Chains A and B, each alone.
Chain A
Amino acid sequence: MRKLLFGNLMRLPLTEPAPLPSDAAMEELANAVDTASRRRLGRSLSIRAVDAGSCNGCELEMQALNNPFYDIERFGIRFVASPRHADVLLVTGPVTKNMREALERTYNATPAPKWVVALGGCARDGGCFAGSYAVVGGVSKVVPVDLHIPGCPPSPTDILRGLLALLERASMGGRAS
């Protein structure tokens, strides 16, 4: 164990930019997110993830944002355990009827100013579950949505790009409900 821990102290971080030329875009994105979040938020943006009926694919990619490659915390962006700590609700899924109330209550428990980001195709309009008796179909049918990040699921890079757009828009005085 010592060896591994020691190795960790001495080794360069794995965090992107990794030494691959194709990841330059990722680094550029990282810098942009960093600048935007710093400017807007003084280095802190707290996200509460709400699964409102997802297949769990979107969650997997959201979780990946915490791995050492993306290391989203370096931008001051954190996933938090309670809506009361959150600035952003990152909502996935076609909003099942069985989750509708839980989503509303989570939204109401989030202090203003707050933003809602609908993540993935399902969260936009129900995706391939649209029309089912069991889903409402799209987050905006339940709570106001500020931004939609498309994909099925969106990759971690797509999610970062989306959050950057949110930060940029917010710093230009965009709507925050």
Chain B
Amino acid sequence: MSQHHPSDDIMMEYAAGCASTHLALCVAVHLQYCPRCRANIQRLSALGGEMLQQLPQEDLSEALFERIMLRIDLEESAPAAPQKPVEDLLQRWLPDGLNAVSWRKQWFKVYEYVLEVSRKGRQRLSLQKISAGGRAPLHAHYGQEVTVVLQGGFSDELGVYEEGDFVIRSGDQRHRPRALENEDCICLAYLDAPVCLAGPIGRWIERFRRLFMPDLNAPAS
């Protein structure tokens, strides 16, 4: 079972449905690995259920029930195909699984595969791979980085993370993730602002990048 879980406030925002869709995806992927958090989400949803039940009753318009029945009758006469339960949340992007991903090299042993980028490029959902024993450059973030380990494991200045672990690094935490020796590490990563490289060379690259490639939010390789 994984050892690093979303914080209580993230869990609550998720259960309440006010987490952003990308953060929700990261939490949902963690839940696939973590029965304990699934049980907690269930309780947090029970709390939502109780809050909802305690709301006052609002008057409804006369014909609302009939309108609903009309829609149901229409649907019943032309039933849609039943929705298949999803086995893997990332299936949509990875129909052939993690082994068939066409990685883009970013650094010596560091690879990325972008799933979604927001229009302004500030938010980025991607898969990241560090080959066994490889090390990412020292970096910090302008915003927050959420990582869920899908395969293998990595360590950084603050801890060791294994399959299913949910890790958040905020802008002021510089870190240099390193894959465990025996296996490639693949993570789902959600970044709500670009990466900035740290260290003297990193700072130089960073300044250069911002001058000439303001729209590109991946570190130059």
Answer yes or no: do A and B interact. no
Residues of B within 8 A of A (CB): none
